[in-house]
Amino acid sequence: MFVLARRVDLAEVIGAALTAKASGAGARTIAAGLGRPVETVRGWLRRFRQRAEHVRVYFTVLLVDTALDPIPPALSVSGFADAVAAVLGAWRAAVSRWPDVGTVSPWRLAAAASGGRLLSPLWP
């Protein structure tokens, strides 16, 4: 799965925006860097922020269940950044166990693991 439900952009594009926000970038800067409308990017960020705790829990459990020697990510200053770290950590855990997973981006894995509903209010 390479897209998220009700989204036109690829999971990697949305994931790049989420990762940039977790690193402290603002919506305008992210939108300009991705060549997307600022309102579209704000929508992604808003929805992810609303779902951040659910995403963090889901992907932390996935990380722990997948990794051979799991080390969950430490909490940071924001729930948003924690959720992004959990997604990336789950991807790294999957790659450490199944190296071919490394050919798939973390955000494509997140799209598949969520059934394309990563930003959906009804998931998980």
Q: For 64-86, what is each residue's pLDDT tens digit?
A: 999 988 888 888 889 999 999 99
pLDDT value at position 8?
76
6 within a domain of the structure (yes/no)? no
pLDDT at 116 over 70: yes
Mean confidence (pLDDT) of the chain: 92
| 94 part of a folded domain | yes
Band (2; pLDDT cuts 50, 70, 90): low
- Inter-residue contact 103 to 95 (CB < 8 Å): no
Which residues span the domain enclosing 31? 11-113
Determine, yes or no, domain membership for 39.
yes
Number of neighbouring beta carbons within 10 Å of residue 96? 15
| % pLDDT > 90, the chain | 77
Residue 64 burial (C-beta neighbours within 10 Å; 0-12, 13-18, 19+):
middle
What pLDDT is attached to residue 97? 92
Residue 68 lies in a domain: yes
pTM higher than the cut 0.75:
yes
Number of domains in the chain: 1
Kindly tell me if the per-residue pLDDT of 108 is higher than 90: yes
Using H for helix, E for strand and C for coil, what is the string for the chain?
CCECCCCCCEHHHHHHHHHHHHCCCCHHHHHHHHCCCHHHHHHHHHHHHHHHHHHHHHHHHHHHHHCCCCCCCCCCCCHHHHHHHHHHHHHHHHHHHCHHHHHCCHHHHHHHHCCCCCCCCCCC
Give pLDDT, residue 1.
58
Asked, for residue 118, whether it belongs to a domain, the answer is no
- What band does 94 get if pLDDT is binned at 50, 70 and 90? very high
